[in-house]
Structure 1
Amino acid sequence: MQHSLPMEKNAPCVPLDEYLVVDTAKFPKDRVRGLTYPCVAHSCANHSQSHSVCSIDREACSMGEVCRQHRCDDGCKLGDSSNFLVPVGSWIRLTDRDSMEVIIHIDCNICTCYKGVEICSSRQCLTSEMLPEEQHRYTGLPCDCSDQYVPICAVNGKTYPSACLANCAEKLSDLKFKYGDCSMGDPCSSPDACPSGTWCMPKRAVCLSVPLEKCQQYECDPPASRNLPSVAYQSPKLTEGECHGDGVQVCGHNGETYPSKCVAWQHKTTVDYLGPCEAVGPISDVDTVSQCDTIDCPELLSTNCMGITPPGSCCPVCAGLIRILFSKKEADTVALAMGSKALHLEDVLELLRRQIVVSECDLYGFLSIEGDIVVLVTPVPKNPSVVEIEVCNREAVKLEALINTRSPLLVSYLQLTPLLAASTRKVAVTENSAALALCRPTYLQLILLFVCICLQKLLKDR
Structure 2
Amino acid sequence: MTAGTVCGALSPPPGSPCVSLTPFLTQSEVPNEVPWRVPTSPCRPFPCPDRHVCTVNSECRPGEACRPYHCTPACTMGEVSSVTVPVGAYISVHARTGGSSCGQVCVCGRGGVLKSCRFVPCVDPAPCWLGTSKIEHDTEVVMGCRVCVCHAGELTCLPRPVCHASSLLHALPPLTGLGAGAVSRGLTSEGSEGPEKLPCGCPDHWVPVCANNGRSFPSECLARCAGVRDGEWVTGECGARDGCDGVRCDAGQVCVSVPNTCLTLPATPCPQHICVPTDGGCPLEASIPACDTRGHQFESLCDLVRAGATLRHVGTCSTRCSTSGEVCGRDGRTWASECHAHANRVPVDYAGPCRGVGVPGREGCPGVVCPKPAGASSSSSSSSSSSSFTSTSEQAGCLAGVAEAAWCCGRVCGGALRLAWSSRAVEVAGVAIPHPRPLTVAALLHALAANVGVSECEVRGHLTLDGHLLVLVTPTAAHTPIPPPLVSEACMVEAERLVGVVRARSPRLMSTLPASALTLAVSAHTSSSAALVPAAHSSVALLFVLLLSMLVRGVRGEV
| TM norm structure 1 | 0.75
- 5+ unaligned residues in a row in structure 2: which ranges? 1-8, 10-33, 100-124, 126-136, 158-184, 279-303, 374-392, 546-559
- CA–CA distance in structure 1, aligned partners of residues 234 and 339 of structure 2: 27
Aligned to 1:335: 430
Residues 349 and 337 (structure 1 numbering): CA distance in 2 closer, same or farther, change over 3 Å? Answer: same
Q: Match for 2:499 among 393, 400, 404?
A: 400
- CA–CA distance in structure 2, aligned partners of residues 163 and 288 of structure 1: 22
Aligned to 2:84: 85
Q: Secondary structure at the match of 1:232?
A: strand
* Alignment check: 8 A CA contact 2:502 2:521 kept: yes
Q: Which amino acid in the other structure matches residue 51 of structure 1?
A: R
Say yes or no: does 1:438 pair with 2:538. Answer: yes
- 5+ unaligned residues in a row in structure 1: which ranges? 6-29, 128-133, 446-462
Aligned-residue sequence identity (percent) comes to 30
Residues 434 and 160 (structure 1 numbering): CA distance in 2 closer, same or farther, change over 3 Å? Answer: farther
Q: Match for 1:186 among 233, 242, 247?
A: 242
1:420-459 equivalent positions in 2, closer than 5 A: 420-429=519-528, 430-433=530-533, 437-440=537-540
Q: Match for 1:232 among 305, 313, 330?
A: 313
CA shift, 1:345, in A, is 1.1
CA shift digits 1:325-369 (9 cap, x unpaired): 111111111111223535211111101110011100000011112
* Alignment check: 8 A CA contact 1:379 1:392 kept: yes
Flag the structure with more relative contact order, 1 or 2, with Cα contacts below 8 A and sequence separation at least 6: 1
CA shift, 1:391, in A, is 0.5
Aligned to 1:412: 511
Say yes or no: does 1:352 pair with 2:448. Answer: yes
1:270-281 equivalent positions in 2, closer than 5 A: 270-281=347-358
CA shift, 1:107, in A, is 3.0
Say yes or no: does 1:113 pair with 2:150. Answer: yes
* Alignment check: 8 A CA contact 1:56 1:68 kept: no
Q: Match for 2:404 among 307, 310, 313?
A: 310
Aligned to 2:337: 260
* Alignment check: 8 A CA contact 1:393 1:427 kept: no
Q: As a proportion of its length, which structure holds more strand?
A: 2
Q: Secondary structure at the match of 2:141?
A: strand
1:313-324 equivalent positions in 2, closer than 5 A: 313-315=407-409, 316-324=411-419
- CA–CA distance in structure 1, aligned partners of residues 193 and 413 of structure 2: 32
Aligned to 1:143: 200
- CA–CA distance in structure 2, aligned partners of residues 67 and 317 of structure 1: 29
CA shift digits 1:75-118 (9 cap, x unpaired): 23222332222224432223569888333332333311123443
Residues 251 and 105 (structure 1 numbering): CA distance in 2 closer, same or farther, change over 3 Å? Answer: farther
* Alignment check: 8 A CA contact 1:249 1:261 kept: yes
Q: Secondary structure at the match of 1:363?
A: strand
Residues 407 and 42 (structure 1 numbering): CA distance in 2 closer, same or farther, change over 3 Å? Answer: closer
* Alignment check: 8 A CA contact 1:66 1:359 kept: no
Say yes or no: does 1:33 pair with 2:128. Answer: no
CA shift digits 1:49-87 (9 cap, x unpaired): x322211245x759xx99852222222322233222222
- CA–CA distance in structure 2, aligned partners of residues 232 and 75 of structure 1: 26
- CA–CA distance in structure 1, aligned partners of residues 60 and 46 of structure 2: 22
- CA–CA distance in structure 1, aligned partners of residues 147 and 67 of structure 2: 37
Q: Match for 2:255 among 182, 200, 207?
A: 200
Residues 33 and 444 (structure 1 numbering): CA distance in 2 closer, same or farther, change over 3 Å? Answer: closer
